[in-house]
Amino acid sequence: MKYYKPTTSGRRGMTSVDYSVLTNKNPEKKLIKKLSKKTGRGYGGRITTRHKGGGHKKRYRLIDFKRCDKIGIPAIVASVEYDPNRSSFISLLNYKDGEKRYILTPEGLEVGKEVICQEKAPQKVGNRMHLVNILPGTDIYNIEFLSGKGGQMIRSAGSSAQVMSHDAGYTHLKLSSGEIRMVKDNCFASIGQLSNSEHGMVIIGKAGRSRWMGRRPTVRGSAMNACDHPHGGGENKQSIGLRKGPKTPWGKLAFGVKTRKKKKYSNNFIVKPRIKKKKKK
């Protein structure tokens, strides 16, 4: 982490990630594209998602979440770069056939190291292979749900899943939430834990920094008028006065309400549900 001197009230307590591990270079031109801003509005120009808007201009980096069409072709890590569109770092790979691609960077992957994607590859950080060939107890990331679709799970900074066992064509994975889930053995996954694990410890420090990230101000419902929010109205600091608990601005229950579909198809693959947080008394 990088800590700043309290030269101003905004700097006091502010922290950021130490980017000294990154390679000082511009992104690969052929692997970036224009990213248009939505600013939280729908087709009618009205706000459909609150607290979004502004933010610094970005270019989208094309990330290879599959790597399936490069089976057996080794690649050298050319650089480790910052990606403004995601929390983890990304790496530029130079394949032996001359092609260049971006991948998610795990902890310990450095410039000059060689990685490969195979059905059965060496158990090295950054290598990608079928789940059936990964040893139990190994940390993995960028995991496929469906074979050939590309990684959909464990893609944020510092996250990883653990291989528990192999049984009847399925691999049992323990996720960071404590949930144990079955995934088919022929799905691909990458070895390691994703980089930038300090991402969740960053203290923003001032409101302007949130605006750079595209986050607009949030106003408490209890500070609004009664016509604008179910929590509004009253004098001074009143309680929300609702028997069933907090509500959204549109009158729906906000906390403690289950939103997952009861008959979701993937429920059959959950061996053990996530650990529920105990309520404070």
Q: What is the CATH number that goes with domain 18-36+54-199?
A: 2.30.30.30
φ, ψ dihedrals at 92, nearest 5° = -95, 125
What pLDDT, in 10s, does the model give residues 152-168?
999 999 999 999 999 98
- The pTM for the full model equals 0.89
- pLDDT at residue 75 in the model: 96
Taking the C-alpha atoms of residue 158 and residue 194, their distance in angstroms, rounded to an integer, is: 5
Q: Is the pLDDT of residue 277 over 80?
A: no
Question: For 146, what's the count of Cα atoms within 13 Å in the CB-facing half-sphere?
Answer: 2
- pLDDT at residue 281 in the model: 58
What pLDDT, in 10s, does the model give residues 118-164?
999 999 999 999 999 999 999 999 999 999 899 999 999 999 999 99
For the residues 7-29, what does the mean pLDDT come to? Answer: 93
- pLDDT at residue 219 in the model: 94
- Output the CA torsion sign for 43, 48, 49, 53: positive
For the residues 209-225, what does the mean pLDDT come to? Answer: 94
Kindly list the distances between the CA atom of residue 178 and the CA atoms of 107, 153, 261, in Å, as whole numbers in the listed order.
22, 14, 20
Mean pLDDT of the chain: 93
Report which DSSP code applies to 170: E
Q: Is 135 helix (H, G, I), strand (E, B) or coil?
A: coil
The share of the chain scoring above pLDDT 70, in percent, equals 99
Whether the CB-CB separation of 80 and 23 falls below 8 Å is answered with yes
The share of the chain scoring above pLDDT 90, in percent, equals 81
Q: Is the pLDDT of residue 218 over 90?
A: yes
Nearest partner of 106 among 130, 121, 94, 124, judged by Cα: 124
Structural tokens at position 217: 């101000």
Question: pLDDT class for 236, splitting at 50, 70, 90?
Answer: confident
For the chain, which residues make up each domain, given as ranges? 18-36+54-199
For the residues 111-119, what does the mean pLDDT come to? Answer: 95
Question: pLDDT class for 196, splitting at 50, 70, 90?
Answer: very high
Q: Which residues contact 18 (CB under 8 A, 6 or more apart)?
A: 1, 2, 198
Q: Is the pLDDT of residue 171 over 90?
A: yes
Whether the CB-CB separation of 209 and 102 falls below 8 Å is answered with no
Q: Beta-strand (E) ranges in the chain?
A: 2-3, 15-16, 32-34, 59-61, 75-81, 90-95, 100-104, 114-115, 128-130, 139-141, 143-144, 151-153, 161-167, 170-174, 180-184, 188-191, 270-272
